[in-house]
């Protein structure tokens, strides 16, 4: 398997270079993109138990959800609650969810696998606790395709008995393609969500995927965006948790593990800090964004209201300001899924542009995503480099598609062309840099980003000496680089 993927990677690198070279200097007509909507989902997911920490009792978990409901009602926001099966069959959660106004709240499925679901499906529980977070026990990837069908059928039938219909949304830190397609084909799921990119957190690694927003996954790999309609599952998956676009990528560089710098309100220096949150939502609503921008707000009840309340309240206040000023659209997860399907037959290009840092490092970054690849630029102290380029292949079958994983960890990857995290060490930073013929790096300060076309992002980088400009053009199939002015022949 390793040898096969190595050859696939070499082929893709060759094809990518051919495509990008061919694209140099080509201009496209400006299509005049309309103002792109900024979509926000408030998604909270619910577990009945938390075996890792003694003081987090079932009552503490329940009261956390009660507090989340109360503050969302206070602002009259739309929100989605996703129920793990143990919470689904708990009468307290059933009563709480049934009392919520259907026009404002959506109730869906959180797809982790606890003991009651396994045993109700006629299978043997292999976990250490009633809910076990290990990947081979607590997630569908630890079960055979036939077992996955039984687990889905049990959940869906019980959900319908309780709420009168099947859920339209399902979320999970990671969901396999077999289960997701089965949920769509048999039960009509219209939207899903999964974890942001991360390395090693809780034993789960998802690296190299569609970085932000939604994508149609491959029929054989739910982490991999599909390139063609006939090879995609028609359920968009939206990336959760709102990563720091600048600093999350390099956190833990050279160690093989990352810290978490995200919008999750439990993190005091990120989603729990008002200054950081205002910085995040400032670029989210004001920076250029191809097609649309998306972010998920909310928190799992395992973190408890005691730990998340400050950050949660900060974020609700900011969202209220943005809603009143017409800057964002709040939707349930299924509403966003339907909107996506109505507007996009295949995964559209999207971008994240952050030209103002919240830290003293004064970094700038640009993310581009399409159904074919993702790329990331990082500006630092006058230099510009590609920190990341990953390619997507709908034919790359997931290790968990037809057979269960046997490890407590889980790994999802795409095809790296440039990987500034895994290929870096504490001493050397891996990247693709811009250099003169003599080996010195180009330097320039001004970055200008244009998103006037719905399928193309243009980055202009002004070079100090000799005066000139580097043009980096991203479209969904390739990126091209050209130069003009005095820098052209240097």
Q: Where are the domains of the chain?
A: 38-343
Strands (E), 342-467: 350-354, 364-369, 373-380, 383-391, 410-413, 415-419, 432-433, 447-453, 456-463
Percent of the chain with pLDDT over 90: 85
| Residue 345 confidence (pLDDT) above 90 | yes
Where are the alpha helices (H) located in 76-213, listed in sequence order?
Answer: 85-88, 91-98, 115-120, 135-138, 145-163, 177-187
| pLDDT tier, 84 (very low <50, low <70, confident <90, very high otherwise) | very high
Torsion of CA 436, 440, 445, 448, to 10 degrees: 40
- The third-level CATH classification (topology) of the domain covering 38-343 is TIM Barrel (3.20.20)
| pLDDT tier, 426 (very low <50, low <70, confident <90, very high otherwise) | confident
- Three-state DSSP at 143 gives coil
**Cβ neighbours of residue 158 closer than 8 Å, sequence gap 6 or more:** 85, 88, 89, 120
Euclidean distance between the first and the last CA atom of the chain, given in angstroms as a whole number? 43
| pLDDT tier, 489 (very low <50, low <70, confident <90, very high otherwise) | low
Percent of the chain with pLDDT over 70: 92
| Residue 57 confidence (pLDDT) above 90 | yes
CA-based diameter of the chain, in Å? Answer: 72
**pLDDT number for residue 132:** 96
Cross-strand pairs, 459: 449, 472
**pLDDT number for residue 327:** 97
| Residue 89 confidence (pLDDT) above 70 | yes
| pLDDT tier, 34 (very low <50, low <70, confident <90, very high otherwise) | low
Both tokens of 433, joined, read 């840099």
**pLDDT number for residue 254:** 81
pLDDT tens-digit map of 361-413? 999 999 999 999 999 999 999 999 999 999 999 999 999 999 999 999 999 99
| Residue 30 confidence (pLDDT) above 90 | no
Query: What is the mean predicted confidence (pLDDT) over 328-332?
Result: 98
- Three-state DSSP at 97 gives helix
Q: Which of 82-96, 105-119, 232-246, 418-432 has the lowest mean pLDDT?
A: 418-432
| Residue 459 confidence (pLDDT) above 90 | yes
- The whole model's pTM is what? 0.92
**pLDDT number for residue 152:** 99
| Residue 10 confidence (pLDDT) above 50 | no
**pLDDT number for residue 27:** 33
Round the average pLDDT of the chain to a whole number and report it: 92
User: Exposure string (b/e) for 136-172, b if CB count within 10 Å is 16 or more?
Assistant: bbbbbbbbebebbbbbbebbbebbeebbeebbbbbbb
pLDDT tens-digit map of 177-231? 999 999 999 999 999 999 999 999 989 999 999 999 999 999 999 999 999 999 9
Query: What is the mean predicted confidence (pLDDT) over 51-65?
Result: 96
Which among 280, 350, 274 is positioned nearest to 314, based on CA atoms? 274
| pLDDT tier, 14 (very low <50, low <70, confident <90, very high otherwise) | very low
- Give the separation between CA 70 and CA 77, rounded to whole angstroms: 11
């Amino acid at each position: 398997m390793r040898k096969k993927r190595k050859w696939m990677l070499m082929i893709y690198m060759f094809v990518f270079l051919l495509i990008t070279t061919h694209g140099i200097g080509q201009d496209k007509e400006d299509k005049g993109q309309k103002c792109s909507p900024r979509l926000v989902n408030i998604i909270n997911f619910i577990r009945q138990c938390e075996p890792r920490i003694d003081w987090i009792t079932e009552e503490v978990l329940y009261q956390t959800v009660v507090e989340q409901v109360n503050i969302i009602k206070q602002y009259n926001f739309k929100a989605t609650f996703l129920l793990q099966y143990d919470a689904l069959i708990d009468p307290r959660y059933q009563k709480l969810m049934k009392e919520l106004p259907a026009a404002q709240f959506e109730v869906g499925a959180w797809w982790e696998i606890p003991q009651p679901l396994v045993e109700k499906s006629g299978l043997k529980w292999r976990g250490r606790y009633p809910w076990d977070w290990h990947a081979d026990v607590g997630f569908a990837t630890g079960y055979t395709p036939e077992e996955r069908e039984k687990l889905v059928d049990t959940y869906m039938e019980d959900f319908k008995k309780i709420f009168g219909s099947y859920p339209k949304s399902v979320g999970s830190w990671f969901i396999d393609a077999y289960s997701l397609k089965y949920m769509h084909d048999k039960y009509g799921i219209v939207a899903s969500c999964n974890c942001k990119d991360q390395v090693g957190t809780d034993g789960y690694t998802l690296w190299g995927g569609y970085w932000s927003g939604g994508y149609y996954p491959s029929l054989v790999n739910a982490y991999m965006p599909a390139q063609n309609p006939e090879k995609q599952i028609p359920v968009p998956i939206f990336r959760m948790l709102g990563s720091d676009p600048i600093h999350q990528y390099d956190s833990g560089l050279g160690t093989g593990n990352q810290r978490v710098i995200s919008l999750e309100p439990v993190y005091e220096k990120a989603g729990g800090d008002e200054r950081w949150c205002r910085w995040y939502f400032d670029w989210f609503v004001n920076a250029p964004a191809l097609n649309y921008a998306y972010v998920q707000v909310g928190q799992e009840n395992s973190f408890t209201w005691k730990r998340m309340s400050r950050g949660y309240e900060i974020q609700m206040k900011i969202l209220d300001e943005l809603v009143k000023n017409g800057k964002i659209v709040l939707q349930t997860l299924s509403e966003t899924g339907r909107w996506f399907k109505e507007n996009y037959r295949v995964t559209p290009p999207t971008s994240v542009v952050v030209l103002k840092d919240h830290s003293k490092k004064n970094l700038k970054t640009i993310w581009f995503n399409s159904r074919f690849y993702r790329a990331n630029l990082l500006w630092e102290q006058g230099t510009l480099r590609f920190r990341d380029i990953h390619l997507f292949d709908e034919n790359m079958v997931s290790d968990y598609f037809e057979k269960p994983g046997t490890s407590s960890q889980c790994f999802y990857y795409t095809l790296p062309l440039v990987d500034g995290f895994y290929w870096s060490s504490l001493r050397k930073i891996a990247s693709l840099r811009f250099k003169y013929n003599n080996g010195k790096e180009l330097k320039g300060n001004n970055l200008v980003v244009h998103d006037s076309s719905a399928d193309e992002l243009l980055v202009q980088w002004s070079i100090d000496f000799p005066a000139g400009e580097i043009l980096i053009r991203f479209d969904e199939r390739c990126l091209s680089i050209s130069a003009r002015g005095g820098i052209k022949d240097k």
